[in-house]
Amino acid sequence: MKKTAGPNASDHEIYDSSIVIDGCAPVLMQDLLEWKRFYKSGVTAIVATVTTSDDMPGTIASLSQFHRLIESNPEELLLIESVDDIREAKRSKRLGLALQFQNGRPLGRDVGMVEVYRRLGVKTIQLCYNYRNNIGDGCLEPANSGLSVFGRAAIRAMNERNVLVDLSHTGERTTLEAMEISTRVDVFTHANARAVRDHPRNLTDEQIRTVAEKGGVVGLCGFPDFISTKPNPTMSDVMAHLEHMVGLVGIDHVAFGTDFFHGSDWAKYVEIGNWSRDDYPPPPWNYPLDGTNAIEFVPALRERGFTPHRHRQSPRRKLPARLHRRLVGDSARRPSFRTQPGRLYL
């Protein structure tokens, strides 16, 4: 294990000594071989989206593909099922895959499926994907209705089985009601600040403060239209969202989920009703941060006064113990990261 990078360390030394996790990586749905991009970049682990809209049979088929992928590449890939698996991925220089749903649709109307999917390695379930489902309203629903009766039961089941409740893509009222009844830490794996970019996929200050009060985090999203109205947003535009959130709730509650996705499937997603043309403009999309260029995030942080020394002295060091236990379902103990290398969260 490498030593912690000091305050005068180079960008590469900081990156190489850090555990780097992308909190949302849907691109593997398009092509499973995209894992190679992340692997070559030195990212420690990704939260890999299994589905955004499949029903039960389609979801099971996708899970089978992910498990076969990992089993076929044991020297490069590792299924993340515990905090120790994240450490092992870093130690062995493998890419960790933590499996996630970006929709509650695979549950159908059976809360028992939470346990089934947990046993199949799924440790994070997002409640909605833009539009209404059996759980509640997505963020693009104009009615902004809250949780359904089934949605409340689903959250209870997720809490009981230590499956992380992801609130991204979910309507404001639904997220606030979910955080009110959830007894565990909740997260927005990939979302930005509406105060910086007024977009329905982004979060109000109330949502950001509420998830932070519960000990959760917001993972900043790299999708260009959620960052800025500019056609080509820059890293500086990403940092504007980070600085706004840090000003609201502190760095302990800000992470990254780059949400990188190729534009080749845009027409399909519009056609099947997952996206609207107004809220998801057609490609080309120019991601300033796509999960594989994380090294560029280091100088951007330094320019704004976020030094390695400051990171180690800040409460952010508590983030792995809090979020990783929830992410991977390791509730048996709270690991100490005080003597481990610095962490760079993407």
The tokens for 180 are: 């009110």
Identify residue 233 by its one-letter amino acid code. P
Q: Is the CB of residue 93 less than 8 Å from the CB of residue 133?
A: no
Res 327: pLDDT: 46
Per-residue DSSP letter, 281: P
Q: Is the CB of residue 316 less than 8 Å from the CB of residue 251?
A: yes
Res 2: pLDDT: 45
Residues 6+ positions from 237 with CB-CB distance below 8 Å: 227, 228, 230, 288
Identify residue 217 by its one-letter amino acid code. V
Q: Which residue has the tokens 């519960």?
A: 214
Element (H, E) at 271: helix 266-271
Res 9: pLDDT: 82
Res 220: pLDDT: 95
Residues 6+ positions from 339 with CB-CB distance below 8 Å: none
Q: Is the CB of residue 60 less than 8 Å from the CB of residue 48?
A: no
Q: How many residues does the chain have?
A: 346
Res 311: pLDDT: 45
Per-residue DSSP letter, 41: H
pLDDT, one tens digit for every residue, the chain (346 residues): 344 566 668 889 988 999 999 999 999 999 999 999 999 999 999 999 999 999 999 999 999 999 999 999 999 999 999 889 999 999 999 999 999 999 999 999 999 999 999 999 999 999 999 999 999 999 999 999 999 999 999 999 999 999 999 999 999 999 999 999 999 999 999 999 999 999 999 999 999 999 999 999 999 999 999 999 998 999 999 999 999 999 999 999 999 999 999 999 999 999 999 999 999 999 999 999 998 898 888 899 889 888 765 444 333 333 333 444 444 444 333 222 222 233 333 3
What's the pTM? Answer: 0.90
Question: Kind of pairing, strands 122-126 and 95-101?
Answer: parallel
Res 344: pLDDT: 39
The tokens for 327 are: 């992410």
Res 72: pLDDT: 98
Res 341: pLDDT: 30
CA-based angle 297:303:306, to the nearest 5?
A: 75
Q: How far is CA 188 from the centre of its chain?
A: 7
